[in-house]
Structure 1
């Protein structure tokens, strides 16, 4: 039986791969490298294993047979993407692999160049069978097109523009799609004018959304379409849902049968402080079959709503190894040879020593080469050894990978149970001191059908680490089994070795935890394709041909979807409080609302700062007229200046610039980030984070943020029209912020330099700073 070599990874590793892949991978056009040639050429597809891509000759033949000719594809691409006349066709390629199906697709790239300067690129993908446009992306390098703040186009207007584009590109499908609101849950009001809105329409079947097929537009802050995606599989069947469970019935099943997943969240370390491992409750990502009322996994196989883990042994099979060995290179090699039984003829080719100062772990990293049996091709072996304990941290043994289309691969006799048995024996032999802390992740084996295991080149068996019998979130060991030999060909460790909690604290009742978790989720009915989330998976090579039932059938399921962003948060299993993963501090997953902002003149600006946690809300109030502290001011500026997406982090290795803002201060990282950005004069002896800031100091801070502090040192260049100018020391700085309209004078024309700044005034000044910053930047024309 002919089949490509495959690597099959169970559990979390694979789930992460799925979650990180783009929604329509194979419909993405091949990015063309820039050349000076304007010739139109048909290029081959990217190099892939032989069973997954046609040969160059086959591509040429397919292109010749395509209903849409190259010339017609160019016409369609220009018209659909509104390609300007000053753009020229750089290249055109044809491929027959991936989501474009057997008919293939034309991928075209247009560029604008003048005097060796690059002004823009437009890429278009055209279905060679139907002429349908499946992808458009546009990049414009025009210095005159600078984004302004606030954006000219906000979300609601972007949705209107997307609706008009839907009418243009897919008028026949406007009633067959539904707007996906999920993007709005995660979106925050922008702190920068350079913003894009992703407007997605999910395919609608039997009144049920199918997110795996969609039409999506990306609209920029000027209202221009920068990307269009059309991913629609015609050859699909959909299971009837006429007698499906109601949402109330589905929710009742979940309440009765689901159990919150308890695990340890380990190794919190942020803002220069550490916190103890925390116990957290979470919900497992399982689906409820809407027709049968049974829980299933992403593969469509039966799954439990809760999972239990059994340690390999009740007690460790051996004591912990000594932690002061300080192995030499020779000793490290001997340790690997002894533990892993390397071939005698394996030759050490290189070794290097690495010491991680932060973690305190020193390792020897060793590489060998060894001939195959009978003197055939050489293969390589790699191992990483903990220099202090002699433990194997990772190991991998490679062998030649045959990608020849004509090569034969027999189905492996390896099955899940054999792989698991081999992995357990290996772990108990190599890590006997952890045998009571490790459990096979049994649920992971249900994610893949037996036939895929038989055709896999390697199978990875994951082990969860247990602390006090409770699984950790991501710590454990993964063992790779070679399907051809049945031997261990790799191992990767990620174990929590710091002191473990001695006792388990009192926990919330399961039902209480489940109710609390469910209150933050919506239950949505949607179609899914088992083992196929709607996009190809290029990382794990699988058989190119799958069963019709697996590849073509979608089923209705109920899925729990967060009502608001829960990333970066966890539910404390003892207190029921949501906490930050960064430092364990209390957090609120819902959008913050302040009861004292109604009808306040700075409501919009304060709400924006609240949305980015740039200003604290205490007991439901933001206290807009309260004087702001210097620490609060710097935190607000740093977050606003960085667009809200970057939260600075400095650990205890960073020496505090000011003695009164040490690593334990909540403002430490913000102050240090401000020092590095030259927003604060580091020559001062102290920062005084709890004192208040006056208007003159605020003016100086804003001018530094704009990058004009040196310019402000020439006050004679500016006109300062404040009535109390004689009371102002920093005349250049005040003149700049008044002239730009970031700060204003009172009705009688006074600046009032000594007046303390309120929280509302600070938020407003930073909002105006963001407005002016966008208009003051010069943007050069970039060379390609």
Structure 2
């Protein structure tokens, strides 16, 4: 198999696989099958010649970084450099069998010279960067799972959970040490899946709002996305689809970058792969926070969401649907003046009891539309419920 650029003809990768059973070819003696073995130096030259032949500017930009040896082959790993500076993630590798056959070739070259900074001198010196790193990071003692692999010298690292000192900026961080210090701005950036600065920027239209704290919290955690002016429009009525997106980003703030789903089929009649809610709905189905996909039914993500609809969805997240079925009478909603107007009395009752959707001046107002601010408050309350309910929420954390 091979991958070739259709315009330039450059070969990006190829793999040669041979499977032939004894019934298709007479078994050969072991020494004849092995053939003449190449030395490591000969194999290295073959690998270098392959990279030079197939990768543009390889002689100037690629250096041999590592060699992995197994019983019947050697894999040569090359690192890309520009101006003497390594280009992280840009690599090439060649596998040479012991008989001299090039069995596998692979490149990953993401950055073109035009994309890289012209100025190779960083604004922050090495000494300044080191001081910032030592100031921000600390070593914490933690249980870490690693191992289950072998080293080049034949040493085997057993798999298991061990005590380890790990560099981290925050002992509660879920990102570990996957952060880099921008050499020009001095800002810390996530290496993988960082959300835009606009996402985490201070909102410009929430000062003095009754839900200011929750709105700021949801913005900082990437659940709410501010526009270019930093506005989140706290009093805007949300749709069902908005809520799905909020909830999915509460599970994984980088959902838009990482989550690809299990296929490209439509989930509901009105939620197709090109829908802005597709990834979120797929994630919530996988969490069992929404019912299973049904391409024949509509999910109505464009409809504005009411407080009663939100109560029903909250009960499903908490796995309390059966319990909610026991509360069917107006008397199950004491001190709620508009109890008779509520259809899903069990869901509303549990949402009230758990403090997720408090009453408003003695009324629940089931038909009242949910705003961005109220959704933020509900998500914050839901996060604080973790570990306090009888059933586990499927997500590891809400934000």
TM-score w.r.t. the length of structure 2 is 0.62
Query: How far apart, CA to CA, are the structure 1 residues paired with 2:308 and 2:372?
Result: 16
| Structure number with bigger Rg | 1
- State the Cα distance separating 1:628 from its structure 2 match: 1.9
Query: How far apart, CA to CA, are the structure 2 residues paired with 1:524 and 1:510?
Result: 24
Corresponding residue of 1:596: 205
Give the secondary structure class of the aligned counterpart of 2:299: coil
- State the Cα distance separating 1:732 from its structure 2 match: 1.5
Matched, 1:607 2:223: no
Corresponding residue of 1:753: 366
Corresponding residue of 2:106: 494
Corresponding residue of 2:273: 663
Match of 2:188 among 564, 571, 576: 564
Query: How far apart, CA to CA, are the structure 2 residues paired with 1:489 and 1:537?
Result: 29
Query: How far apart, CA to CA, are the structure 2 residues paired with 1:367 and 1:607?
Result: 70
Give the secondary structure class of the aligned counterpart of 2:105: strand
Give the secondary structure class of the aligned counterpart of 1:714: coil
- State the Cα distance separating 1:508 from its structure 2 match: 7.8
Matches within 5 A, 1:239-278: none
Corresponding residue of 1:772: 385
Work out whether residues 233 and 372 of structure 2, in 8 Å CA contact, stay in contact via their aligned partners in 1: yes
Match of 1:696 among 297, 308, 320: 308
Query: How far apart, CA to CA, are the structure 1 residues paired with 2:39 and 2:328?
Result: 86
Query: How far apart, CA to CA, are the structure 1 residues paired with 2:213 and 2:26?
Result: 63
Change (3 A) 1:590 1:746: closer
Matches within 5 A, 1:639-678: 639-640=249-250, 642=251, 648-650=259-261, 653-659=264-270, 661-676=271-286, 677-678=288-289
Work out whether residues 319 and 391 of structure 2, in 8 Å CA contact, stay in contact via their aligned partners in 1: no
Give the secondary structure class of the aligned counterpart of 2:129: strand
Change (3 A) 1:423 1:770: closer
Query: How far apart, CA to CA, are the structure 2 residues paired with 1:752 and 1:613?
Result: 29
Change (3 A) 1:681 1:495: closer
Give the secondary structure class of the aligned counterpart of 2:385: helix
Matched, 1:726 2:340: yes
Change (3 A) 1:561 1:733: closer
Render the CA deviation track for 1:636-689: whole Å, top value 9, x for unaligned: 22343x475876432652223132x32122211112333452525866843333
Query: How far apart, CA to CA, are the structure 2 residues paired with 1:628 and 1:760?
Result: 10
Match of 1:478 among 86, 94, 97: 94
Give the secondary structure class of the aligned counterpart of 2:20: strand
Gaps in structure 1 of 5+ consecutive residues: 1-265, 267-314, 321-331, 337-346, 352-365, 382-396, 400-411, 429-433, 466-470, 528-535, 545-559, 570-579, 581-585, 780-784
- State the Cα distance separating 1:745 from its structure 2 match: 1.0
- State the Cα distance separating 1:510 from its structure 2 match: 1.4
- State the Cα distance separating 1:461 from its structure 2 match: 3.2
- State the Cα distance separating 1:710 from its structure 2 match: 3.3
- State the Cα distance separating 1:419 from its structure 2 match: 4.7
- State the Cα distance separating 1:733 from its structure 2 match: 1.2
- State the Cα distance separating 1:490 from its structure 2 match: 5.7
Corresponding residue of 1:523: 129
Change (3 A) 1:757 1:589: closer
Corresponding residue of 1:422: 46
Work out whether residues 265 and 272 of structure 2, in 8 Å CA contact, stay in contact via their aligned partners in 1: no
Change (3 A) 1:367 1:443: farther
Aligned pairs, number: 328
Work out whether residues 200 and 221 of structure 2, in 8 Å CA contact, stay in contact via their aligned partners in 1: no
TM-score w.r.t. the length of structure 1 is 0.34
Corresponding residue of 1:679: 290
Query: How far apart, CA to CA, are the structure 1 residues paired with 2:261 and 2:204?
Result: 34
Corresponding residue of 2:235: 625
Query: How far apart, CA to CA, are the structure 2 residues paired with 1:350 and 1:613?
Result: 58
Change (3 A) 1:368 1:726: farther
Corresponding residue of 1:706: 318
Work out whether residues 703 and 733 of structure 1, in 8 Å CA contact, stay in contact via their aligned partners in 2: yes
Change (3 A) 1:706 1:653: same
Work out whether residues 462 and 477 of structure 1, in 8 Å CA contact, stay in contact via their aligned partners in 2: yes
Alignment root-mean-square deviation, CA: 5.2
Render the CA deviation track for 1:352-398: whole Å, top value 9, x for unaligned: xxxxxxxxxxxxxx99986443x8xx86x9xxxxxxxxxxxxxxx9x
- State the Cα distance separating 1:457 from its structure 2 match: 10
Work out whether residues 477 and 491 of structure 1, in 8 Å CA contact, stay in contact via their aligned partners in 2: no
Work out whether residues 696 and 734 of structure 1, in 8 Å CA contact, stay in contact via their aligned partners in 2: yes
Match of 1:461 among 56, 76, 89: 76
Render the CA deviation track for 1:281-328: whole Å, top value 9, x for unaligned: xxxxxxxxxxxxxxxxxxxxxxxxxxxxxxxxxx97xx99xxxxxxxx
Work out whether residues 635 and 667 of structure 1, in 8 Å CA contact, stay in contact via their aligned partners in 2: yes
- State the Cα distance separating 1:705 from its structure 2 match: 1.2
Query: How far apart, CA to CA, are the structure 2 residues paired with 1:653 and 1:701?
Result: 25
Query: How far apart, CA to CA, are the structure 2 residues paired with 1:611 and 1:350?
Result: 62
Structure number with higher relative contact order (C-alpha < 8 Å, ≥ 6 residues apart) = 1
Matches within 5 A, 1:34-73: none
Give the secondary structure class of the aligned counterpart of 1:523: helix
Matched, 1:511 2:127: no
Match of 2:196 among 572, 587, 594: 587
